[in-house]
Amino acid sequence: MIDLIKFIFLGFIQGITEPIPVSSSGHLLIFQKLIGSSDSVDYSILATITNFGSFLAICLIFKDEIINLFKSFFGYLKTKDKKYYTNYKYSWYIVLATIPAGIMGLVVTKLGLFDALEENVKFVGATLLVTALFLFLIKDFKGKKEKKDITIFDALFVGLFQVVALLPGISRSGSTIVGGMFRNFKRETAFNFSFLLYIPISVATTLLGFKDLFDANLSINMICLYLVSMIVAFIFTYIGTKWFKNVVKEGKLIYFVYYCLIVGLLVLIFL
């Protein structure tokens, strides 16, 4: 029963922090330090499983947009009809913005560049303060660019901000939304572009993580516990994404400035 509660709690942490700009991986590390080490939890497997739950939730929320992009992409290739062009171009910009983080992610993984930082909770505290600073800088931005106005340079710029999120404790959604708003995206445009970028990155992360999962030889009991975490992560990612969309739309990112500042300082002082 204790293990079940723990897995539910960790699924909740992943789910609620994945869509908001506070770093889900950083929060899992913080709570790992708070509750202590446990033979029952493999945090790398937990991250893979709960990330997959978050991925499914975001795909569900954006299913209409995803279907529309696929239809428009192949519709334009087939007919060259101008009505498909904006979404066709937008699809390529999502691919383009994914490439920098994809390449750097492989380099970081192969060379183990951040291995020493991944378990460093103090570093997470510091990166939360960095997140607070960037969110503070763009908290009042409104922007003018819509989907049709995005350029190649905009896509690459946001893609480079997604590279920054490879650092442990840096929020992916936060960094890409900040990048979009620095490029004069409307708030909703920045939000949508950020979360559509999450999908290819999450697919790659999940596929790489599943190899370790299959090598783990988990018992049926442990498989069930991880699945419970995945379901909880799915539910709270869905809820958190819907809520965060309204926060961004209303320009209330200052809440996350305060949160990241307070939590970052507490981690640096006490952990």
- pLDDT given at position 2: 83
248 pLDDT above the threshold of 90: yes
Question: What residues have CB less than 8 Å from 73, skipping those under 6 apart?
Answer: 84, 87, 88, 91
Q: Where are the alpha helices (DSSP H) in the chain?
A: 2-17, 24-35, 43-61, 63-79, 85-111, 121-138, 152-164, 172-182, 187-214, 220-249, 254-270
User: Rounded mean pLDDT of 251-266?
Assistant: 95
Do 237 and 53 form a contact (C-beta atoms < 8 A)? yes
| Alpha-carbon span 271 to 266, nearest angstrom | 8
What's the pLDDT tens digit per position in 197-243?
Answer: 999 989 888 887 777 777 777 889 999 999 999 999 999 999 999 99
- pLDDT given at position 1: 76
Provide φ and ψ at 112, rounded to 5°: 60, 40
Query: Would you give the end-to-end CA distance of the chain in angstroms?
Result: 28
118 pLDDT above the threshold of 90: no
3-state secondary structure of 185: strand
- From residue 176, alpha-carbon distances to 20, 74, 198, 239 in Å are 11, 27, 10, 20
Q: Smallest Cα–Cα separation from 165: which of 154, 153, 177?
A: 177
157 pLDDT above the threshold of 80: yes
Two tokens, residue 132: 């607070």
* Residue corresponding to tokens 């490029």: 183
Provide φ and ψ at 185, rounded to 5°: -70, 145
Per-residue confidence band for 191, with pLDDT thresholds at 50, 70 and 90? very high
Per-residue confidence band for 39, with pLDDT thresholds at 50, 70 and 90? low
